């Protein structure tokens, strides 16, 4: 079987596919002023047919997991058609999404009915006022209700992500709140270290805190590092036999973070990004127009792996092409 593999021996069975740049939240670390149309790029977002051809190509290249991201992926009116189209490929074993959960309570049943294999929900705090401060939306109760509905439907793979922010959600009280939450809920909770992007330097300087602060909390409270296979990706996970859920940390500024990279990214307008913070991207869209272009599309993707670098250079302040995380889905 063909496999996506770079010159450093890393394999890429996982694609993060953005299907829109549009987001209806105004998170301080991403889109503090809300989504604004990029007038310099008038291309439309990938169509359903283009996504169908892309998913088939990726499946034949050994990709077995596709995560739909944004922006906020569920704002697309054809979101469930996209899910159905991707799942028609037998090689894609997992189709999952990352969402802000803004109407999770209303679509939970459909997520289950359409066979979605996992949901990652962004919740930066369990404190209603802090959540509102970060996102500019007072919708925490609705999102938590949506999670409860998913659980009542026996939805198996629920994860919560929070961006670790200095002075906002990074003290022991915050950590204990999440600890109490996952003690009784079979949900994986992960802190993500705040990353610098092209337009958030001031915010980054003010709110960045090393992920080690949370790691130290876990060690002090007897959490055990969970080991995975070599293709598990860069997240570091922790387990405790007394808890139903798990903790995790994504620390992009840590040593050797990129060593376990297992994913590539495709933007909502069809650009392949070898790295979230890479300086180059190549457009694939012209090869998604006809079914007969399948082999050309696969060949172009394969060839690009020769240009993937060993590491990002975030620690040097090099944010590449990423203006904000809504353009590549984080």
C-alpha to C-alpha distance for 100 and 283, rounded to whole angstroms: 27
Mean pLDDT rounded to a whole number for the chain: 91
What confidence tier does 50 reach under pLDDT thresholds 50, 70, 90? very high
Q: Strand 271-273 and strand 282-283: pairing?
A: antiparallel
- Tally DSSP H helices, then E strands, for the chain: 9, 12
Which tokens sit at 150?
Answer: 């998913």
pLDDT at 227: 73
pLDDT at 107: 97
Contact at 8 Å (CB) between 233 and 258? Answer: no
Q: Whole-prediction pTM value?
A: 0.92
317: left (phi over 0), alpha (psi -120 to 50) or beta: left
Classify residue 197 as exposed, middle or buried by CB count within 10 Å of its CB (0-12, 13-18, 19+): buried
pLDDT at 153: 97
Asked whether the bond before 329 is cis by omega within 30 degrees of 0, the reply is no
What confidence tier does 311 reach under pLDDT thresholds 50, 70, 90? confident
Residue with tokens 């600890």: 179
Which tokens sit at 314?
Answer: 């975030």
Share of the chain above pLDDT 70, in %: 91
Contact at 8 Å (CB) between 175 and 214? Answer: yes
C-alpha to C-alpha distance for 183 and 221, rounded to whole angstroms: 13
Least confident range of 5-19, 27-41, 204-218: 27-41
Q: Pick from 198, 188, 323, 178: which is nearest to 250 by CA?
A: 188
Contact at 8 Å (CB) between 65 and 96? Answer: yes
C-alpha to C-alpha distance for 12 and 308, rounded to whole angstroms: 11
Q: Strand 158-164 and strand 188-193: pairing?
A: parallel
Neighbours of 87 (CB within 10 A): 18
Which tokens sit at 146?
Answer: 């949506």
Q: Pick from 160, 123, 118: which is nearest to 141 by CA?
A: 123
The kind and range of the H/E element at 184 are helix 172-184
Q: What is the DSSP letter of 212?
A: H
pLDDT at 327: 63
- The mean pLDDT of 83-110, rounded to a whole number, is 97
**Domains of the chain and any CATH numbers:** 14-327 (3.20.20.70)
What confidence tier does 104 reach under pLDDT thresholds 50, 70, 90? very high
Backbone angles phi, psi at 189, to 5 degrees: -115, 135
H helices of the chain, where?
48-60, 79-87, 104-113, 128-135, 140-152, 172-184, 201-207, 212-220, 294-304
Q: Strand 282-283 and strand 263-266: pairing?
A: unpaired
Where does the chain show beta strands of DSSP type E? Answer: 14-18, 65-69, 94-99, 118-122, 158-164, 188-193, 224-226, 236-239, 246-250, 263-266, 271-273, 282-283
């Amino acid at each position: 079987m063909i496999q996506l593999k770079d010159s450093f021996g890393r394999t890429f069975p996982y694609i993060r596919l953005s299907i829109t740049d549009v987001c209806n939240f105004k998170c301080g670390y991403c889109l503090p002023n809300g989504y604004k149309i990029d007038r310099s790029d008038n291309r439309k977002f990938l169509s359903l047919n283009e996504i169908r051809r892309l998913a088939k190509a990726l499946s034949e290249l050994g990709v077995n997991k596709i995560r739909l991201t944004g922006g906020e992926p569920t704002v697309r009116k054809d979101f469930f058609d996209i899910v159905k189209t991707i799942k028609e490929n037998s090689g894609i074993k997992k189709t999952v999404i990352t969402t802000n959960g803004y109407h999770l309570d209303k679509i939970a049943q459909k997520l289950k009915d359409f066979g979605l294999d996992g949901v990652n929900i962004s919740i930066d705090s369990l404190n209603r006022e802090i959540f509102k401060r970060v996102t500019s939306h007072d919708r925490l109760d609705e999102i938590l209700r949506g999670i409860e509905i998913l659980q009542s439907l026996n939805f198996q793979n629920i994860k919560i992500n929070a961006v670790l922010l200095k002075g906002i959600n990074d003290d022991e009280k915050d950590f204990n709140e999440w600890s109490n939450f996952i003690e009784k809920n079979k949900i994986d909770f992960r802190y993500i270290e705040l990353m610098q992007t092209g337009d958030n330097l001031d915010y980054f300087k003010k709110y960045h805190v090393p992920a080690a602060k949370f790691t130290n909390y876990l060690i002090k409270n007897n959490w055990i590092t969970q080991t995975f296979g070599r293709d598990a990706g860069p997240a570091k996970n922790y387990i405790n036999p007394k808890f139903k859920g798990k903790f995790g940390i994504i620390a992009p500024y840590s040593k050797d973070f990129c060593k376990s990279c297992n994913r590539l990214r495709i933007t909502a307008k069809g650009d392949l990004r070898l790295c979230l913070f890479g300086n180059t991207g190549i457009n694939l869209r012209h090869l998604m127009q006809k079914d007969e272009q399948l082999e050309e599309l696969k060949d172009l993707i394969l060839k690009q792996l020769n240009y993937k670098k060993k590491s990002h250079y975030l620690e040097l302040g090099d944010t590449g092409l990423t203006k904000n995380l809504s353009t590549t889905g984080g």
